[in-house]
Copies of this chain bind each other. A is one copy, B any other.
Amino acid sequence: MSIAMSKLTVPVFVRGLSILSTLLAKGEAHAAAAGMAPETLLGARLSADMLPLSAQVQRASDTSKFAAQRISGGEAPSFPDEETTFAQLQQRIAATIAYLESVDPAQLDAGADREIRLNWTAEGPVFTGENYLLTFALPNFYFHVVTAYDILRNQGVKVGKLDYLGSFEQK
């Protein structure tokens, strides 16, 4: 028994982004109720040299978008990181989900052996699609979703572990 690349990518990312959207909405409501300026919460960080909440959302968008693009070998829309409000970040998440759901599952399935080269340096790193997904894209995607959650908790927003886990896909 094994799982197709199309099932290991788009549904996993769409699920995580949907949860992130719910977390953000709870953050926005908390800020409003607490009299906190929205930009204060969106600019909150866990340490001075970590990215703030708004950028964690942008990176969750990009890590999932690039994973689908690279594994499928197709093209993806450009998102220039200009969001400064909760509404704009929700639009970014929605646009990312729309792109992910537009990717042909057959192209993703064909990507397990595709050579994937990150452009950090002239030489790479170079992955197979499978290694890229399991040792880079998924850990990186979860990093940004969890860190967004952790920033909200650190700022006193009333979200809990079940908000992060989301509804389960049961048998």
**Would A3 and B1 count as touching, CB distance under 8 A?**
no
**Would A1 and B113 count as touching, CB distance under 8 A?**
yes
* Number of A residues, CB within 8 Å of B: 51
Complex: how many Å from CA A121 to CA B111? 40
Chain B: minimal CB distance from A55 (Å): 12
Choose among B15, B140, B147 the residue that contacts A165 (Cβ–Cβ < 8 A): B140
Given A4-B1, A127-B169, A156-B47, the answer on whether A146 and B136 have CB atoms closer than 8 Å is no
Chain B: minimal CB distance from A129 (Å): 8
Q: Which of A123-171 contact B (CB under 8 A)?
A: 124-131, 134-136, 138-140, 142-143, 146-147, 149-150, 153-154, 156, 161, 164-166, 168-171
Contact with B along A1-35 (1 / 0, CB 8 A): 11111011001100110000000000000000000
Asked if A83 is at the interface (CB within 8 A of a chain B CB), the reply is no
Q: B residues within 8 A CB of A142?
A: 138-139, 142-143, 146
- Give 19 A-B contacts (CB < 8 Å), ordered by A residue: A1-B4, A1-B5, A1-B110, A2-B112, A3-B112, A8-B134, A46-B150, A46-B154, A124-B170, A127-B171, A131-B168, A131-B170, A135-B168, A135-B169, A136-B168, A139-B165, A143-B149, A147-B150, A150-B150
| 3 cross-chain pairs, A with B, having the tightest CB-CB distances, nearest first | A1-B112, A142-B142, A146-B146
Residues of A participating in the B interface, judged by any CB pair closer than 8 Å: 1-5, 7-8, 11-12, 15-16, 46-47, 50, 109-113, 115, 124-131, 134-136, 138-140, 142-143, 146-147, 149-150, 153-154, 156, 161, 164-166, 168-171
